[in-house]
Amino acid sequence: MARIDGRNNNELRPVTITAGFVDFAEGSVLIQCGGTKVLCCASVEAGAPKYVPQGTGWVTAEYSMLPRANRERSRRDISRLKLSSRSAEIQRLIGRSLRAAVDLAALGERTVTVDCDVLQGDGGTRTASITGGFVALALACRKLLEQGTMTKDPIRHYVAAVSAGIVQDELLLDLCYSEDSHAMVDLNCVMDDGGGLIELQGTGEGRSFTIEEQRKLVSLCSEGIRSLIEKQKEILGD
């Protein structure tokens, strides 16, 4: 079975990360993974939520799709007065993933909010948000280091994410929208640069899956994430 865009089963879509896409955020990137485009902005504010130990900081994320990011226009959250449940689920995932990258004590009493706004969605928007959001977060930390308001880089390791899935019983890396909509199994993986798992979410969407299938999907993702972290390093100049 050939993939719709001719990729090999273990091949990522073309990835572009444009740093500094907007000027005001402490760190910002536009990440494109194939047809998916997400603007990730990291904003640093003084203070931390009260449920965090004194002296430590916090990293959180917000995720939203612009109304016409998809094939059909969707209504804005504000017009329905409800945060979409899907967005709520995704922004919790992004937040947990990015916090795993950071030494919150080294961050100090600051809150970094990483806004991930999907300009165009063609599958994999949550993983693109994590991969791009990490770069925005790292850029924001650098800015604080350069300004001298922070003395130690709180970034502990790189974090990136990708999805894999089973479509017509083939295991495919980095599903685009049309593949995703036919997937029987869909798995999102977030890893660090040591290959450690940070988040793993697998869903059977028409059938269940075996532990062996799950292992192979994680393995596919692991490869993909290695490449994505290479991209991140290029941008960050490491």
- Compute the least distance from the CB of residue 141 to its own copies, in Å: 16
CA nearest neighbour of 127 among 237, 25, 231, 228: 228
CA distances from 36 to 10, 129, 220 (A): 18, 10, 20
Whichever of 12 and 39 has its CB closer to its own copies, that residue is 39
Q: Closest separation between CB of residue 162 and its own copies, Å?
A: 15
Our CB check for its own copies shows the closer of 62 and 180 to be 62
226, burial (CB in 10 Å: exposed 0-12, middle 13-18, buried 19+): middle
Comparing CB distances to its own copies, the nearer of 6 and 24 is 24
DSSP for 5-68, written as a single string: T---TT-PPPEEEEETSSSSSSEEEEEEETTEEEEEEEEEEE---TTSPTT--EEEEEEEE-TT
How far is the C-alpha of 142 from the C-alpha of 152, rounded, in Å? 10
Q: Which residue's CB is nearer to its own copies, number 87 or number 151?
A: 87
Q: Compute the distance between CA of residue 214 and CA of residue 237 in angstroms, rounded to an integer.
A: 34
CB of 24 to its own copies, least distance (A): 5
CB of residue 11 to its own copies, shortest distance in Å: 21
Q: The tokens of 194 are what?
A: 């040591």
Q: Which is nearer to its own copies, 151 or 190 (CB)?
A: 190
Q: How far is the CB of 55 from its own copies (least distance, A)?
A: 18
Of 147, 131, 163, nearest to 61 by C-alpha is 131
**Site residues, its own copies (CB under 8 A):** 21-25, 28, 35, 37, 39, 41, 43, 45, 62, 64, 66-71, 73, 76-79, 81-83, 85-86, 88-89, 91-92, 96, 100, 113, 115, 117, 119-120, 187, 191-192, 194, 196-204, 207-211, 214-215, 218-219, 222
